[in-house]
Amino acid sequence: MDILDKIKAYKLEDVAARKAELPLSDIEARAAQAPAPRGFADRLTEAAREGYGLIAEIKKASPSKGLIRADFDPPALARAYEEGGAACLSVLTDGPSFQGADEYLVQAREASSLPVLRKDFLYDPWQVAESRALGADCILIIMASVSDAQARELEDAATRWGMDALIEVHDRAELDRAAGLNSKMIGINNRNLQTFETSLDVTRMLAKHVPVDRMIVAESGLSTPADLAEIARYGARSFLIGESLMRHEDVTAATRAILANPLTAPGGA
Ligand SMILES: O=P(O)(O)OC[C@@H](O)[C@@H](O)c1c[nH]c2ccccc12
């Protein structure tokens, strides 16, 4: 049993417990009262046209790295990322593996004007309604952990709630499955969630197979402006970055630094 299987097992139990407490109709009523969605894909696309589109991640810890940031203040981090030029935020809400919390998403979103991705492991449309109830503007669909039918169901629910979905893939088979969905954003995860092995070669190899009408978001293991410039040559102009920014004391400065001097978009922009 690898880490992704373990996460899935406890997540399904957790969802069952949450559902027992708050049936679908109740969570849907909460979602209906949440602040209106901020257009996540639109904001990212716009930023990527002018430079790079950065999804900056609020991440306290991870199963592969342990504690990443001791001084962890989600609202302050959200403001720092916004000031540094991030287009969107990503907030880990999974507790057991990432020391995240639903509250962190609520706090980060309230502290900034940026659209927010709920970074968690989703299997059930109930969780999509829950994400919206928390204020999320976008959900993550991890192809390595769901069936095609589940992915479709999650995507449909996101669309119904006015949210976007980031479809995460790690190999060619997952990418081909993702191409059968409607979402525009394809996240290429450089980290294998089964082994934690991280290599930018994943983006280098998969980028050319992404359908031209989709936007590539290169995810994980990115830490320098040179990484971004190099990966941009493969057609990715949007990036999801957590750890390397979280490890800097001055998050605003680190965000500005990694976004400086973007490689000019093909065709100019
Ligand atoms: O911290 P990094 O290496 O910059 O990676 C960020 C993000 O890509 C990573 O947190 C991530 C990508 N896909 C995920 C799925 C679940 C949990 C976490 C992730």
**Residue of 266, 137, 245, 119 lying closest to 189 (CA atoms):** 119
Task: Tell me if residue 220 is catalytic.
Answer: yes
Tens-place pLDDT, residues 151-205: 999 999 999 999 999 999 999 999 999 999 999 999 999 999 888 999 999 999 9
Closest ligand 1 atom, residue 97 Cα: 17
> Got the DSSP string for 4-42?
HHHHHHHHHHHHHHHHHHS-HHHHHHHHHTSPPPP-HHH
Tokens 């287009």 locate to 87
E strands along 170-235, which residues? 185-189, 215-219
Closest ligand 1 atom, residue 57 Cα: 6
Compute the mean pLDDT over every residue in the chain, rounded to the nearest whole number.
96
Give the total number of structural domains in the chain.
Answer: 1
Tens-place pLDDT, residues 216-226: 999 999 999 99
Task: Tell me if residue 189 is catalytic.
Answer: yes
Tens-place pLDDT, residues 83-94: 999 999 999 999
* pLDDT recorded at residue 266: 58
We report the CATH number of the domain holding residue 13 as: 3.20.20.70
> How many angstroms is it from 242 CA to the middle of ligand 1?
7
Q: Which domain holds residue 227?
A: 3-259
Q: Examine residue 267 and state whether it is found in any structural domain, yes or no.
A: no
Which listed residue (8, 11, 28, 59) is catalytic? 59
> How many angstroms is it from 193 CA to the middle of ligand 1?
9
Indicate if the pLDDT at residue 267 is higher than 80: no
Q: Examine residue 149 and state whether it is found in any structural domain, yes or no.
A: yes
Q: Examine residue 162 and state whether it is found in any structural domain, yes or no.
A: yes
Backbone phi and psi for residue 21, each to the nearest 5 degrees, phi listed first: -80, -35
Reading the block at residue 40, the tokens are 């996540």
Overall pTM > 0.90: yes
Q: Examine residue 18 and state whether it is found in any structural domain, yes or no.
A: yes
Q: Examine residue 189 and state whether it is found in any structural domain, yes or no.
A: yes
Which listed residue (28, 219, 238, 243) is catalytic? 219
> What CA–CA distance (Å, rounded) separates 264 from 167?
26
> What CA–CA distance (Å, rounded) separates 176 from 29?
35
Q: Examine residue 33 and state whether it is found in any structural domain, yes or no.
A: yes
- Output 155-162 pairs: Cβ under 8 A, ≥24 positions apart: 155/181, 155/182, 155/183, 156/125, 157/125, 157/128, 157/129, 158/128, 161/31, 161/37, 161/128, 161/129, 161/132, 162/36, 162/37, 162/132
> How many angstroms is it from 219 CA to the middle of ligand 1?
6
Q: Whose CA is nearest to atom 18 of ligand 1?
A: 119
* pLDDT recorded at residue 263: 84
- Decide if 89 contacts 97 (C-beta within 8 A): no
Q: What band does 269 get if pLDDT is binned at 50, 70 and 90? A: very low
Tens-place pLDDT, residues 103-126: 999 999 999 999 999 999 999 999
Indicate if the pLDDT at residue 268 is higher than 70: no
* pLDDT recorded at residue 94: 98
**Helix axes of 24-32 and 125-134: crossing angle, nearest 10 degrees:** 30
Q: Examine residue 266 and state whether it is found in any structural domain, yes or no.
A: no
Which listed residue (28, 82, 155, 168) is catalytic? 168
% of the chain with per-residue pLDDT over 90: 95
Q: Whose CA is nearest to atom 11 of ligand 1?
A: 220
Indicate if the pLDDT at residue 144 is higher than 70: yes
Which listed residue (119, 155, 183, 238) is catalytic? 119
Q: Examine residue 269 and state whether it is found in any structural domain, yes or no.
A: no
Task: Tell me if residue 168 is catalytic.
Answer: yes
Indicate if the pLDDT at residue 265 is higher than 90: no
Task: Tell me if residue 8 is catalytic.
Answer: no
